[in-house]
Amino acid sequence: MLKLTHLTKTYKEKRIFQNARFEAELGEIVLLMGKSGIGKSTLLDIIAGIKQYDSGEYYYQETQLFPENDEQMSRFRNQMIGYILQDFALIDDYTVMENIMLPSLYNSQIKKSTAEKRARELANRFDLSDVLAEKVRKISGGQKQRAAIIRSLILDPPIILADEPTTNLDSENFELVMRLFNQLKQEGKVLIIATHDERILSIADKAYHVVNYKIIV
Ligand SMILES: Nc1ncnc2c1ncn2[C@@H]1O[C@H](COP(=O)(O)OP(=O)(O)OP(=O)(O)O)[C@@H](O)[C@H]1O
Ligand SMILES: [Mg+2]
């Protein structure tokens, strides 16, 4: 269970959340919808511990998380979160494989060979095997999107945050990603997906909308 209560967040004078509440259970696919600029990516960043908030309480399972506690938050982020960012956040001058393997460099609990095997399996499934050795700056938008998805899964985290993960996918890859998300759900993970893509509603357990500084079902 992941829970944020009494969440308030402002950027300087711009209000984003006011006493908002968000909850997701393991084994759920949760969508985060709402118009552009309303705060979806901000919420994912808060969940990932990348952004601070003004006030609120954040719990994962029985543990309360404190965003100002860098050590706790970075351990939580590294061990529990896989994040597919809206702009992919891939490194152009690294190869696809090097990018996919990045999370494993910061985590001593997974062997490099295990991560690499997982990377190759996922790349094969998403038709990326041929570009694993290419520099990211040479691959297409859809290939970048799939590389970012694979990178988020390399450590097999229980919480997967996905920011507009289907924007660049053709229908074939869209179907592959939906199947993957469903499989992750079956494995008991929680997926929190910020999206404008209504096609994803068909696999969602819950769809939240950000409206009036609140996160409502
Ligand atoms: N670091 C920042 N400093 C100041 N304002 C910011 C910052 N990041 C985001 N904002 C503002 O906060 C609001 C919410 O941004 P956010 O990226 O969370 O929206 P979003 O719902 O993800 O939008 P989109 O659907 O376009 O991705 C926007 O008005 C944005 O300009
Ligand atoms: Mg966004």
What is the tens place of the pLDDT at every residue in 138-175? Answer: 999 899 999 999 999 999 999 999 999 998 888 988 99
Question: Separation of 200 CA from ligand 1 center, angstroms?
Answer: 22
User: Mean per-residue pLDDT for 124-138?
Assistant: 94
Supply the pLDDT for residue 67.
87
Measured in Å, residue 11 CA sits from the centre of ligand 1 at 9
How high is the pLDDT of residue 86?
Answer: 86
Q: Is the pLDDT of residue 29 over 80?
A: yes
Q: What is the mean pLDDT of residues 114-122?
A: 93
pLDDT exceeds cutoff 90 at 117: yes
More confident residue, 27 or 167: 27
Pocket around ligand 1 at a 6 A CB cut-off: 11, 14, 16, 34, 36-42, 86
Q: Which atom of ligand 1 is nearest to the CA of 39?
A: 18
Domains detected in the chain: 2-216 (3.40.50.300)
Helices 96-105 & 112-125, crossing angle to 10 degrees?
Answer: 140
Q: What is the pLDDT of residues 73-90, one digit of tens each?
A: 999 998 999 999 988 889
Per-position b or e across 24-58, b if 16+ CB within 10 A of its CB: beeebbbbbbbeeebbbbbbbbbbbbbbebeebeb
Q: Tell how far the Cα of 182 is from the centroid of ligand 1, in angstroms.
A: 28
CA torsion 2-30-189-47 (nearest 10°) is -40
Pocket test for ligand 1, best of 11, 46, 164, 167 (most atoms within 8 A of CB): 11
